[in-house]
């Protein structure tokens, strides 16, 4: 899958190098479609055969966003540990212009 320029990088880091996207627990997903309709980045599709949501475009997920997880009342969506994003920001010096003492 070729990413559009809009999704190709996050804070100057190639998006393919960042392990951040939702995972759906198919045993918990009831197919309500809340994640499909509410994601502004079109990460999800709906599988009519399974009658469940699927993560169709994981690299379009905004790094650090967990809105779909928050809105899923069935707790079917999960993400990697948020500490991963915090560490990535430190390693890549994403906030290099900000006082580093505040990041400790």
pLDDT per residue as tens digits for the range 9-29: 999 999 999 999 999 999 999
Global confidence as pTM:
0.85
Q: What letters, b where the CB count within 10 A reaches 16 and e where it falls short, cover 45-82? A: eeeeeeebbbbebebbbbbbbbbbeeebeeebbebeee
Domain with residue 10: its CATH number is: 3.30.70.20
pLDDT per residue as tens digits for the range 29-86: 999 999 999 999 999 999 999 999 999 999 999 999 999 999 999 999 999 999 999 9
Q: How many domains does the chain have?
A: 1
Q: What residue numbers bound the domain in which 45 lies? A: 5-103
């Amino acid at each position: 899958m070729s990413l559009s320029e809009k999704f190709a990088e996050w804070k100057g880091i190639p998006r393919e190098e960042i392990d951040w996207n939702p995972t759906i627990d198919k045993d918990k997903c009831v197919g309500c479609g809340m994640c499909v309709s509410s994601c502004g980045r079109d990460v999800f599709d709906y599988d009519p055969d399974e009658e469940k949501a699927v993560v169709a475009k994981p690299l379009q997920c905004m790094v650090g966003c967990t809105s779909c997880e928050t809105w899923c009342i069935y707790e079917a969506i999960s993400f990697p540990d948020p500490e991963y994003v915090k560490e990535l920001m430190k390693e890549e010096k994403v906030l290099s212009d900000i006082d580093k003492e505040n990041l400790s």
